[in-house]
Amino acid sequence: MRQRRVLILSDLFPPVFAPRIQAVAKYLPTYGWEPVVATELVRHQADYVHTATDSRYKEDIPIYRIDFGKNEVGTLRHKLNFLADLVYERRERRMEKALQKSLKEKPDVILCFAYRKFPLRTAARLAKSWGIPWIADCRDIVEQYTDGDFLPHPITLWGHPLLKLMRSIRARIISQRNRYLSQANKVITVSPWHRNLLAKVNPDCHLIYNGYDHEIFSPRLEPHPHFDIIYTGRLLSLSMRDPSLLFQALASPELSELVSSSKLHIHWYTDKQSERLLRPVISSYGLETINTFHEMLPREEMARMIQSAAILLQLSNRESESGPHGMVSTKIFEAMAVRKPVLLVRSDEAVMEQLIKHTRIGCAARSVRDVISFVRSCHKDWIRQGYTAVSGEQEEIELFSRKRQVGDFARLLNEVLDNPKNIRSCPYQSNH
């Protein structure tokens, strides 16, 4: 009996950093599914990634990489292509056409991983053409961001953001996305806030958090000569990820002895744009000497590096009507896996705070006093044993294992395929 076949449509796929999609493709065969991937051919990886590439990735499944042509960020071509995608859905039409022509075997189901809304149109059109069900997975939606932050680079005129134009673009993306989500057999998303929002469009909406790959992230509790606070990832804006509580605490008299001891360091593994945001804030608190910036690392190197941290820093801000909403970084689950204390500043007072409390992996700081107390506590542990660690609630933490979560994806795929109402009679035309 052959395995069931799923066509995974994705905005990105390794070696570009895409851990959620990679895990699904990696572990689905364990649950009786044969994955085939279709994604964009990425020419300039630095334009697309939130962190460095996954250099350990090996292509051992069929992958169709669709070439949309040169599209380097910041060029006139990129801006025109963005406009063509917004108005005409150019990339999605080209992806659909390419797969209709080149896909060798008909899939049983389509699983579409969407960023903003790409490539939902492709999934909806192919599913209708082939008479098969499809599932949409939406992780980054424009409503979760503060004004304009859903775009990699804000649209400005003479240095001023064009908010009305960006809001019009936002509305257009939401309208297009919702049109296709309403056609999906099921929708999957990444936080309770996302699920509540998208369920208004498609009631058959399910929550599968991001998680950690246990084959990459695991504890290694060894003494380390420095008390290192480590942050990995990007900052889109300080309104979404606000580090000020940490800097206020480190500039306070209560932590002055630790800061001046030459033992405490903050290491930022981030991009140049984030560094430009952070440096003026760091300077305003006089903390330049304890902050060091680094380039992003490949995922397996990052996994080894965070094992040596005294504290793993997560940045957020309190949820508000104007955003951010429902943002749960993959990094928090990877911190769970390596059993390192997590400091969230500022607490979102929502899902990330709840995750930290339920798993008992650290502190979701609402005040400077919270930060001071947590840093002192971790420093005492480091003085006593040379490293820090949290035991956490292991049963809760194991719920976020990628392999276990892919079992939930497989269950939903089986549900849509086993429901006769989802199968439509339609001849499949192939050129092969």
In terms of Cα–Cα distance, which of 267, 324, 378 is closest to 144? 324
* Of 212, 371, 403, 216, the residue nearest 305 (C-alpha): 216
- 347/159 Cα distance (integer angstroms): 31
pLDDT at 51 > cutoff 50:
no
**pLDDT confidence of 161, banded at 50, 70, 90?**
low
Mention every residue, 6+ apart, whose C-beta is less than 8 A from residue 341.
310, 311, 312, 361, 362, 363, 374, 378, 388, 389, 390
pLDDT of residue 155 exceeding 90, the answer is: no
What confidence score (pLDDT) does residue 314 get?
97
Helical axes 120-130 vs 90-102, angle rounded to 10°: 40
| Contacts (Cβ under 8 Å, ≥6 apart) of 410 | 28, 31, 32, 33
Q: Does domain 227-385 have CATH number 3.50.50.60?
A: no
Q: Whose CA is closest to 36, among 99, 129, 114, 122? A: 99
Instruction: Give the integer Cα–Cα distance in Å for 340 and 306.
Output: 8
Do 227-385 and 4-211+402-418 have the same topology in CATH? yes
pLDDT in tens, 283-333: 999 999 999 999 999 888 999 999 999 999 999 999 887 767 888 989 999
Strands (DSSP E) along 24-183, which ranges? 33-40, 63-66, 109-115, 134-140, 156-157, 160-161
Average pLDDT, the chain: 89
User: Which architecture characterizes domain 4-211+402-418 according to CATH?
Assistant: 3-Layer(aba) Sandwich (3.40)
Q: If pLDDT is split at 50, 70 and 90, which confidence band does 167 have?
A: confident
Q: Give the integer Cα–Cα distance in Å for 222 and 213.
A: 21
Is it the case that residue 388 has pLDDT exceeding 90? Answer: yes
Strand-strand pairing, 160-161 and 156-157? antiparallel
- Sorted by where each begins, the domain ranges of the chain are 4-211+402-418, 227-385
Residue 325's pLDDT is what?
85
The predicted model scores a pTM of 0.89
Q: Between the CA of residue 101 and those of 65, 97, 105, 106, 430, what are the distances in Å?
A: 13, 6, 11, 12, 7
Inter-CA distances, 202 with 114, 121, 172, 208, 326, Å:
15, 16, 18, 16, 18
